[in-house]
Structure 1
């Protein structure tokens, strides 16, 4: 409240010329102005986090920052809401304690408080949206990893099957006695792998 006290001490402005009702307005107006400064900082932080999440560079620390801002916005809204009720009561009820000349200032302050609450509501929805985008992005990354692992498993499964067959200790396996059998098997495995990779690429899986 230092700016208000300075104006009173300096006998400058309207603070010394009006009564206690205007002093109350000046104090509440200063509080609201400080809330707007905090709100601006929160908005800048949300913009930065939004860019990080959209660019797919978010990590667990990013999510923690979003939750911290969400808690701050929720706490700030709880602090501002009673001020809105107080102003509504002051404007709704006629009182000899509030001069008519002060009412326009109170109405203007009430508009600022409503604007503050609306912005806080918008920021709260934005934090919820950022969490959903982060979780969706993390799910997509996990699905991409699982798809890659599944494709590699599908490629190596027939190769493992072939190796398993020729790894069995049977006496009657004609291919083992063929001079070029080893190279035929390697060639078949290479062709099978190449064919599966080409197929997966055409289907858009790779």
Structure 2
């Protein structure tokens, strides 16, 4: 994934400007879930204006917007729920830093949900508006990742949601977003194990590229998980009227999960860094082994080259006292071979005794 993934307006654009991005958009699906202690009602909406009739009720309303929200949908939601222009701009310009902001009687949150699309790490921005009796969740994915929460709400005699305020629904969604980091880190763990095996058996350039790619993804993940931990810390300690005291204990549990994920993340980053050191050490060791073998071979052939160089001079004169008698000797040739074999065997024995072979 890209190092810089934030969408932004041109410098100098007025704050709160909603301009559609040029790339193709996926269709927007609006799903509304209205619930009380007695019933749970679900409907699919054709437009944001269809939410109006539910605002006058005493029930709690969850509006789920899936797909890339267009400016018209955001403006309709903003007019209907009195959402701040700056918050709507942050929703449209994805890649924002996880944060929580208070606008009058509303909470605006941006959370980051990591997941694997099969091969690569993806991080999705989830935007949430929380009011007294409503929660608006905007997710750019086509498939709704919060179906497990909706399934729990449909269960009969489930009073965890109906007997508590809308802040408990906010906790349930943030808990799912936070826990989505565990399967991602599990995938990182599998990759680290495979890379460790490759490093020990056959380190190569492909393994090096995989290590650098993994370090890059861990860095990107760290960049969004640390501020998300701060977000949960703020909710855990906030005194805002939208967050009840009996719900803060659940946010503490969610914060604890975030701490565990960050600790695992930091451990994996250290392991990836150490694997890079192991790769460099392995390559250096392989180079040293190769140089040692070549040095031994060269050392063995140095005296042999000297011997054949001497006897290859062919200085032979019958009357000279400095002539080489071996050149005319009947057993001269096999004797030279015997000397060279003896030198080779002696050097090999010496190298093995010193532990160089």
Q: TM-score over 0.5 for the alignment?
A: yes
CA separation in 2, counterparts of 1:156 and 1:16?
Answer: 88
**1:49–1:62 CA contact under 8 A, matched in 2:** yes
Match of 1:154 in 2: 299
Q: Which has the higher helix share?
A: 1
Instruction: Give 1:26-37 correspondences, 5 Å limit.
Output: 26-37=172-183
Q: Which has the higher strand share?
A: 2
**2:161–2:168 CA contact under 8 A, matched in 1:** yes
Instruction: Give 1:45-84 correspondences, 5 Å limit.
Output: 45-54=191-200, 56-84=201-229
Instruction: Give 1:1-206 correspondences, 5 Å limit.
Output: 1-8=146-153, 12=158, 14-54=160-200, 56-171=201-316, 172-206=323-357
Unaligned runs of 5+ in 1: none
Higher mean C-alpha deviation, range 19-28 or range 183-192: 19-28
Unaligned runs of 5+ in 2: 1-145, 317-322
* Aligned length, in residue pairs: 205
Distance 1:82 1:51, change over 3 A: same
Higher mean C-alpha deviation, range 92-101 or range 59-68: 59-68
CA separation in 2, counterparts of 1:160 and 1:91?
Answer: 81
C-alpha RMSD of matched pairs (Å): 1.9
Distance 1:57 1:16, change over 3 A: farther
CA separation in 2, counterparts of 1:133 and 1:146?
Answer: 20
**2:236–2:249 CA contact under 8 A, matched in 1:** no
Higher mean C-alpha deviation, range 146-155 or range 72-81: 72-81
Following TM superposition, where does structure 1 have runs of at least 4 consecutive aligned residues deviating by more than 6 angstroms? none
CA separation in 2, counterparts of 1:138 and 1:122?
Answer: 24
Deviation (angstroms), 1:47: 2.1
CA separation in 1, counterparts of 2:170 and 2:225?
Answer: 16
Deviation (angstroms), 1:115: 0.8
**1:7–1:15 CA contact under 8 A, matched in 2:** no
Structure 2 SS opposite 1:118:
helix
Query: Larger relative contact order (C-alpha < 8 A, sep ≥ 6)?
Result: 1
